A = this chain, B = another copy of it.
Amino acid sequence: MPAPLSDSPRQVRIALGERSYEIRIGAGLLADAASWEGLPAAAAALVVTNTTVAPLYLGALRAALAARYRSVFEVVLPDGEEHKDWATLNLIFDALLSHGCDRRTVLFALGGGVVGDMTGFAAASYMRGVPFVQVPTTLLAQVDSSVGGKTAINHPLGKNMIGAFYQPARVLCDLDTLKTLPPRELSAGLAEVIKYGPIADLDFLDWIEANVDALVAREPRALAHAVKRSCEIKAEVVGQDERESGLRAILNFGHTFGHAIEAGLGYGEWLHGEAVGCGMVMALRLSHRLGLVDAAFVQRVTALIARAGLPTVGPALGAERYLALMRVDKKAEAGEVRFVVIERPGQAAVRGAPDDLVRQVLAESTR
């Protein structure tokens, strides 16, 4: 299964009625004024980015937007998951208000998942809602967090606890931005790519296995296909369940364990994608112990996660600490932890599991 041969931009549509929008995927898109045609008319744009991304891409984006907006403002946030809080979010509101931005301002999120989540929540909340555009510059944001309208900030007692479902007006994935991504972050993004295989598409899982070395080596056509296929699967799921009343929760495969790792170590210690990679190993083992998948499938996906450069063994926080952290997960109901499990290869479901089974999984998956 080779990667497609074409280098031309690809498009994926998220079908959500009047909230529908396009994901555009390709090289060199960010600096191309044509990328921004058709967005809501507005006098002003505010680009939100961080201290790492600003020196790399802010100038090019501002130049491209200047052709369309009379005023282009910027706000540069500190970089890192530990800044995904109210104080940092408020820097966006301060910028909007100090520039006198009205309801017809468009926000642009230039950066990874943290920038996208915070910009999206700021857009959802500023004057009760202004349009925003996702310009993800990490693989994780391109294949997952920028698509689907989940926005949030963290609370000291839980990750992504405060936020909104709020769809962007467009998502623009410029593959060139992945060239500057640190290797750890590329691997973290691959965790979310791999995720789509076990939960939804075994053909894609085969393709990732055949191309994982090319992906780690940042072969452009491999990355282009990985981003496009990931977005297609996510688009299909989100189109059926925008507000996560059911199906959409399968996209959190690996995330319940993963969030516990992140929270237990302190946000920012492990990257989100690293925690998800390890969390998927745990969730696969739980699925096996529930009698849903065989050991060979667990081994197969675990090996792929390792080849992508991701951890497959979790930190030894202690089983009780893991369980306590998972009880504040947003999928929990009346204190019972809910896990995304693999029902059979290519299909996921959400269900509870006995604490003892979870303890066994944690015992064999941490050190």
* A residues at B contact (CB < 8 Å): 43, 86, 90, 93-94, 97-98, 100, 102-104, 124-129, 150-152, 155, 157-158, 161-165, 243-244, 327-328, 330, 332-335
Complex CA–CA separation, A330 to B128 (angstroms): 9
8 Å CB contact of A43 from B102, B158, B334: B334
B162 touches A129 (CB 8 A): no
A98 touches B157 (CB 8 A): yes
Chain B residues with Cβ below 8 Å from A155 are: 93, 97
Complex CA–CA separation, A342 to B275 (angstroms): 59
Nearest chain B CB to A142 CB, angstrom units: 22
B86 touches A127 (CB 8 A): no
Chain B residues with Cβ below 8 Å from A98 are: 157
8 Å CB contact of A93 from B97, B162, B165: B162
**Given contact pairs A90-B86, A155-B93, A335 touches B100 in the complex (Cβ within 8 A):** yes
Using CB atoms, name the residue of chain B closest to A86: B86
Complex CA–CA separation, A333 to B105 (angstroms): 10
8 Å CB contact of A328 from B100, B332, B335: B100
Complex CA–CA separation, A93 to B243 (angstroms): 20
**Given contact pairs A155-B93, A157-B98, A333-B102, A165 touches B43 in the complex (Cβ within 8 A):** no
B330 touches A127 (CB 8 A): yes
**Given contact pairs A125-B164, A129-B164, A157 touches B97 in the complex (Cβ within 8 A):** yes
Nearest chain B CB to A121 CB, angstrom units: 8
Using CB atoms, name the residue of chain B closest to A127: B330
Complex CA–CA separation, A86 to B161 (angstroms): 15
Chain B residues with Cβ below 8 Å from A97 are: 155, 157-158, 161, 328
Complex CA–CA separation, A164 to B158 (angstroms): 22
Using CB atoms, name the residue of chain B closest to A153: B125
Complex CA–CA separation, A327 to B102 (angstroms): 9
Complex CA–CA separation, A244 to B129 (angstroms): 11
Chain B residues with Cβ below 8 Å from A164 are: 124-125, 128-129, 164
Using CB atoms, name the residue of chain B closest to A43: B334
B328 touches A103 (CB 8 A): no
Chain B residues with Cβ below 8 Å from A161 are: 93, 97, 126-127
**Given contact pairs A90-B86, A93-B155, A158-B97, A128 touches B332 in the complex (Cβ within 8 A):** no
